[in-house]
C-alpha cells in the first residue's frame, strides 16, 4: 500500500503552497477522488484538505444581480438555497438529479466540476488500454461495449463522456469559474473550462497546475420562469445520464425570444446546442420548429456501434425538455 501524506489547509495561500509539491491533489468532499484512489486509478502522493478554508462555503449576491456560489458549498445546500431554487431553478433541478441524497450532502460544487468520467474502461485498471488513464495506450471503449459513450466531440483517442448533471445546467446558464493559482486569480468562461479529448484525453479541464477553484459565478437571472432539466437514464435514481438536457427559455406569449440548451451524456464536456438555440430564437413554439432545431443539434453526431440510439434519444429529449420548460413545470423528469 502506498503512503499518502495529508495536510489541512487553513487558507487559500497555504493550499496553493502545498500544491506546488509534485503528486499533490486537493480534496474536498472526496466523493469521486476517494473512489478513484480505492480503485488504483488516482495515486496522489499528498492530499491537501481544503474543506476548512473560510469563505468558500457561502452563496452570495453579486453587484450586477448575479450569484456567487463558493467552491465548498455542498451540492445539497446549493440545490436547496432559496436564491438558487427561485432564480436559477435549472441549476437546482440538475443538482437534485445527481447521485443520491447522501452523496449530495458530501459533494462540493468545485468537486462536481472536477469529477472524472464513469467510463468502465477508465475506472477498471484491469483494462490496460485507456488513453485517459495512460496516454498512448489506446481506447478500449472504441472497440468494446460503448452504449453509454460519446456521440459528439469525441476523438480517435477517447469517447468517454462527462458525468456531471450540475455542469450541464451551468453550461446553459453561461456561468463562469473563478480560480486562483501561483500566477494569481483568473476567471474562466464555463464553455472553456472543460475540454474535448482531442489527442490529450487525460486532461479534462483547462485548469493550470496547482490552480484551485474558489467559486462559480452566475449571471443575473433571466430564466426563472421557464427552465427544465430532463435526465434520461436506465433507472430512476442514482444513475448517470444516457442523455440529459438543460433547457431555459424567455418567452413572449408562444414566441421564443431566447433559448438556452445544453446536453449531457453525449460528449466529453457539457455540450452547448448553440445551433438549436439560434434556430429557435424569434420562432413560435411549435413542434415543427423544435424538431428542426433538435435535428440540427445532432447533425454532427458520430455514434459508435452500441450507441446510435442516443442520436434520436437526444433529439426527442431536446423537444420534450423545451416543451416542459415552456410550460413552467418544475422538478426533474
SS3 2: coil
Q: How confident is the model at residue 1 (pLDDT cuts 50, 70, 90)?
A: low
The 3-class SS string of 263-317 reads EECCCCCCEECHHHHHHHCCCECCHHHHHHHHHHHCCCCCCCCCCCHHHHHHHHH
Q: How confident is the model at residue 141 (pLDDT cuts 50, 70, 90)?
A: very high
Task: Supply the pTM of this predicted model.
Answer: 0.97
- State the average pLDDT for the chain: 96
Task: Return all residues near 9 (Cβ < 8 A) that are at least 6 apart.
Answer: 15, 18, 48, 49, 50, 52, 53
- 99 within 8 A of 244, measured Cβ to Cβ: no
Rounded-to-integer distance, Cα 4 and Cα 40, Å: 13
* Domains of the chain, earliest start first: 1-53 (3.30.43.10), 227-326 (3.30.390.50)
Q: Tens of pLDDT along 276-295? A: 999 999 999 999 999 999 99
Mean pLDDT computed over 293-308: 98
pLDDT of residue 216: 99
pLDDT at 179 over 70: yes
Mean pLDDT computed over 13-29: 97
pLDDT at 319 over 60: yes
pLDDT of residue 328: 79
Mean pLDDT computed over 205-215: 97
Q: Tens of pLDDT along 109-118? A: 999 999 999 9
Q: How confident is the model at residue 331 (pLDDT cuts 50, 70, 90)?
A: low
Q: Tens of pLDDT along 226-247? A: 999 999 999 998 899 999 999 9
Rounded-to-integer distance, Cα 26 and Cα 286, Å: 48
Percent of the chain scored above 90 by pLDDT?
A: 96
Measure CA of the first residue to CA of the last residue in the chain; give whole Å.
44
Mean pLDDT computed over 130-141: 98
Rounded-to-integer distance, Cα 187 and Cα 202, Å: 23
Q: Tens of pLDDT along 28-67? A: 999 999 999 999 999 999 999 999 999 999 999 999 999 9
Amino acid at each position: 500500500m502506498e503512503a499518502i501524506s495529508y495536510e489541512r489547509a487553513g487558507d487559500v495561500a497555504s493550499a496553493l503552497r502545498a500544491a506546488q509539491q509534485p503528486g499533490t491533489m486537493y480534496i474536498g468532499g472526496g466523493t469521486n477522488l476517494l473512489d478513484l484512489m480505492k480503485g488504483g486509478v488516482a495515486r496522489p502522493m499528498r492530499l491537501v484538505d481544503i474543506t476548512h478554508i473560510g469563505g468558500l462555503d457561502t452563496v452570495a449576491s453579486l453587484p450586477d444581480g448575479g450569484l456567487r456560489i463558493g467552491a465548498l458549498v455542498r451540492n445539497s445546500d446549493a440545490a436547496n438555497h432559496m436564491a438558487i431554487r427561485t432564480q436559477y431553478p435549472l441549476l437546482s433541478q440538475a443538482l437534485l438529479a445527481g447521485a443520491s441524497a447522501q452523496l449530495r450532502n458530501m459533494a462540493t460544487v468545485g468537486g462536481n466540476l472536477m469529477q472524472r468520467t464513469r467510463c468502465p474502461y477508465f475506472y477498471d485498471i484491469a483494462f490496460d488500454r485507456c488513453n485517459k488513464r495512460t496516454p498512448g495506450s489506446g481506447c478500449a471503449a472504441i472497440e468494446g461495449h460503448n452504449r453509454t459513450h460519446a456521440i459528439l466531440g469525441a476523438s480517435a483517442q477517447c469517447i468517454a463522456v462527462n458525468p456531471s448533471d450540475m455542469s450541464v445546467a451551468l453550461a446553459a446558464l453561461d456561468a463562469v469559474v473563478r480560480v486562483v493559482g501561483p500566477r494569481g486569480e483568473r476567471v474562466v468562461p464555463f464553455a472553456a473550462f472543460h475540454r474535448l479529448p482531442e489527442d490529450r484525453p487525460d486532461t479534462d479541464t483547462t485548469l493550470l497546475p496547482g490552480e484551485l477553484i474558489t467559486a462559480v459565478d452566475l449571471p443575473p437571472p433571466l430564466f426563472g420562469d421557464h427552465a427544465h432539466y430532463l435526465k434520461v437514464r436506465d433507472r430512476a435514481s442514482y444513475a448517470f445520464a444516457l442523455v440529459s438536457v438543460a433547457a431555459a427559455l424567455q418567452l413572449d406569449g408562444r414566441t421564443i425570444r431566447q433559448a438556452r440548451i445544453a446536453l449531457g451524456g453525449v460528449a466529453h464536456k457539457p455540450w452547448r446546442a448553440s445551433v438549436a438555440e439560434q434556430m429557435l430564437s424569434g420562432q413560435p413554439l411549435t413542434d415543427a420548429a423544435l424538431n428542426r432545431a433538435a435535428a440540427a443539434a445532432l447533425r454532427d453526431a458520430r455514434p459508435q456501434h452500441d450507441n446510435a440510439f442516443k442520436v434520436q434519444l437526444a433529439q426527442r429529449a431536446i423537444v420534450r425538455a423545451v416543451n416542459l420548460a415552456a410550460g413552467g413545470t418544475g422538478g426533474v423528469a
